Chain A
């Protein structure tokens, strides 16, 4: 019985110390915790063994020493149960994800330069319906590290079709900002031209969104936010919308949204809008901005072409109500008035021979993007731009990519500029 006692204890110790924990954010895996599943199995085995021994001719009922040993084992099991319960993960689930990247750019007329960035994303699922998510953005400026809050918002799944949320969120205008801008998803090292100046990247406000089956499938989002502000202080920026003001400048909120329709799984067609009063307080007259956009995305692995094709286009029209900037000339550049309409977009095509049997070739991807930015002819220092970018990517893993691109930029009234762009990006 003493030998049996020692054997049982040895089994218990080995099982408890060899079982890895199960946590939402498991990173250490140091074996100090007992998973619930294994604990239950251990307890079940022990109970069965106890029953077998009690029923045997030489069971504990026939000897006080055996009974004491079983009571001792019972106490040990209670202690292990307590340890397991203390180590159990709670109902809250937590995940750190995000991406990092390094860049090198060599643009004609500028110094070639390296760059880097790190964007951790924190996801807390507090209940099955309640999610809080936040992203920090750390990037290098010329002489310092810039830290920004990319987004931070909570969302609640009201029902199968409705999710509500509030906070700072990626603006659901088009698809590039919300879905494609992370470095490990964007197929080129830089962002489309139109996205740098015509549409907001983030908004502070609240939203209602969801997806629902309607013949095929649709998704929608409607949001209200503090809204952008028209710039008025210099000749170069007068009439441009500033999307980086995070407080409401005029007690008027912006309203926007997007509807997406998927007639077939690989094709999505979307339309977006944004309406806002953008004149700052004290500006002569109210100025309203209206933005419309559409987007089309198609991605499919096609056997006949031996790989995956990815075709996307987005276009936006921005119409800011006519206004007079620096009406008295006191700022030194006015008065300026012009028809403040802008538009821009891109078309991108990518192909990856994902069906090829060669391990290197199947991970290569060719990309081409055409960008256009049309600015109002009456605006100071504005000129239409067209950009042609050819890229070649190598996917080390599904979320790790090396990118190389050659870019040609044509600006009306200026020299054509060429650039080489390189980027490595890791999604985790």
Chain B
């Protein structure tokens, strides 16, 4: 029982930390703050201010090697990136920018 309490406690603590992060951060970024912060986007996982090439490199290499954009046609990339959005939890903006980049680079 003590092990269960410790395990549950650790998990709830982690959830609480995560929740506090979300609560304190959601709504704090205004459009003007986003525009000012665009210059510092290199260290952030946010898609705003980043091009498709950068988002493609950052998101894809988290799990696997990056394939040559020429390996698929425009229509094939559309399907592949849609599949990756579902599987890897890409945001809508990342999805759109990565598709546009790959279709222009193949």
Contacts and interface: CB of A to CB of B under 8 A. Distances in A.
Interface of A: 22-26, 89, 93-95, 97, 123-125, 131, 133, 155, 157, 159-161, 163, 165, 170, 175, 178-180, 184-185, 209-221, 259-266, 268, 271, 273, 292, 294, 297, 299, 301, 308, 317, 319, 341, 395, 398-399, 427
Q: Which of B14, B21, B79 has the most CB of A within 10 A?
A: B79
Interface in B1-48: 3-4, 7, 10-11, 14-15, 18, 21-22, 25-26, 28-29, 43-48
B106 to A, nearest CB: 12
B47 A213 contact: yes
A319 B7 contact: yes
Question: Max chain B CB contacts within 10 Å: which of A95, A124, A212, A319?
Answer: A95
A126 B94 CA distance: 21
Nearest to B88: A179
Interface of B: 3-4, 7, 10-11, 14-15, 18, 21-22, 25-26, 28-29, 43-48, 58-59, 61-68, 72-76, 78-80, 82-83, 85-94
A398 B57 CA distance: 13
A264 B43 contact: yes
Contacts of B91: 160-161, 210-213, 217
A319 B61 CA distance: 34
Given A94-B79, A185-B64, A217-B46, A271 B11 contact: yes
B25 A214 contact: yes
B88 A265 contact: no
A125 B11 contact: no
B62 A297 contact: yes
Nearest to B15: A271
Which of B64, B74, B88, B94 is the most central at the interface, judged by chain A CB atoms within 10 Å of its CB? B64
Nearest to A94: B79
A131 B73 contact: no
B67 A319 contact: no
A77 to B, nearest CB: 27
4 closest pairs, A vs B, by CB? A219-B89, A215-B25, A160-B92, A24-B75
A125 B73 contact: no
Contacts of A265: 44-45, 58-59, 62
A400 to B, nearest CB: 10
A157 to B, nearest CB: 8
Contacts of B43: 264
Contacts of A175: 63
B64 to A, nearest CB: 5
